[in-house]
Amino acid sequence: RFAYVNGLYLRHPEAVVHVEDRGYQFADGVYEVCEIRGGRLIDEALHMARLERSLKELRIAQPMSLGALGVVLREVVRRNRVHDGLVYLQITRGVAPRNHAFPAEGTPPSIVVTAKSSPRSAGDLRAEKGVSVITVPENRWDRVDIKTTSLLPNVLAKQAAKEAGAYEAWFVDADGKVTEGSSTNAWIVTMDGGIVTRPAESGILRGITRTVLFEVAKAAGLRIEERAFSLDEAKAAREAFISAATAIVTPVVEIDGHPVGNGAPGTVATELRRRFHEFAA
């Protein structure tokens, strides 16, 4: 395996960053995860646009053009011979002596790109069986709209899910409303067939998969209601599902031990998953 590190394509064991990288010391960085399917990057333009926004919000300099970054992503995918899988891109504020305030102007941001294969069959199998989620209290900061590598609450939530035998943990805010999963957006389908997901204006990351699902639903003649939904509503829903580059659409069949609907993957989630790649660019 190979990784890109600050201008070099290195063999995986030698792909290291400096001890004073601000990503390491402060989680002072941003990232993107993009699906690779048939050797192609899925929704590259949308991921790049979100990356640009994350960098801007954190005032990290854009280290190279988005076009040049795309070339690097494709080269890492090629060198790792990834046909189906994921590419990971991380940009941090660079290497500087430890000090919370920004380093001197002109300090180059650090760039790391890795890629790994993951067979389609694994995701398909998971979607056919459906996954369980648990819930945890929302304890993140109010800038979860930024795709930062600062993910400790998400890490702890995912570990709690794993220890409970679940695939994902949903954060629930002080009003009892579900925000999103530790690494996925959250959706339900109500008993009258409405597809509900939280507005991206507050409390969630605006997922690229989520964005594309609006087009998929429209083409399928399905209605999406963008509004916050409560945990109680989710438990009483006909269906639930999660979305992310790593999950596409994956049905949720159990929330905190309660079966969702009839306890099997729902027809809406299954249809959205089936049609997703017709609309992904």
Give the interface with ligand PDD as residue ranges (CB under 6 A). 33, 180, 183-185, 205, 207-210, 243-246
Closer CB to ligand PDD, 149 or 230, in the complex: 149
Write phi, then psi, for 89 (nearest 5 degrees): -125, 130
- Asked if residues 72 and 114 have their Cβ atoms less than 8 Å apart, the reply is no
Q: Give the integer Cα–Cα distance in Å for 215 and 212.
A: 5
CB of 181 to ligand PDD, least distance (A): 6
The token pair at 185 is: 């957006």
Cβ-proximal residue to ligand PDD, closest one = 207
Q: Which is nearer to ligand PDD, 95 or 252 (CB)?
A: 252
Shorter beta-carbon distance to ligand PDD: residue 207 or 265? 207
Q: How far is the CB of 90 from ligand PDD (least distance, A)?
A: 11
Cβ-contact 137, 169 below 8 angstroms: no
Whether 147 sits among the annotated catalytic residues: the reply is yes
- Find the shortest distance in angstroms from Cβ 209 to ligand PDD: 3
Instruction: Please pick, among 56, 129, 147, 162, the residue that the annotation labels catalytic.
Output: 147
CB of 220 to ligand PDD, least distance (A): 18
**Are 136 and 255 a contacting pair, CB within 8 Å?**
no
User: Cβ of residue 185: shortest distance to ligand PDD, in angstroms?
Assistant: 5
185 backbone φψ class: left, alpha, beta (φ>0; ψ -120 to 50): beta
- Whose Cβ is closer to ligand PDD: residue 237's or residue 245's? 245
CB distance 250 to 273 below 8 Å: yes
Cβ–Cβ < 8 Å for 202, 195 = no
Work out the number of other CB atoms within 10 angstroms of the CB of residue 199: 12
Q: Which parts of 48-109 are beta strand (E)?
A: 85-92
CB of 199 to ligand PDD, least distance (A): 14
Contact of 112 with 4, CB cutoff 8 Å: yes
Nearer to ligand PDD, 95 or 213 (CB): 213
| Nearest in space to 105 (alpha carbons), one of 93, 88, 116 | 93
95 vs 205, beta carbon nearer ligand PDD:
205
DSSP state of 3: E
Contact between 69 and 90 (Cβ < 8 Å): no
List active site positions.
Answer: 147
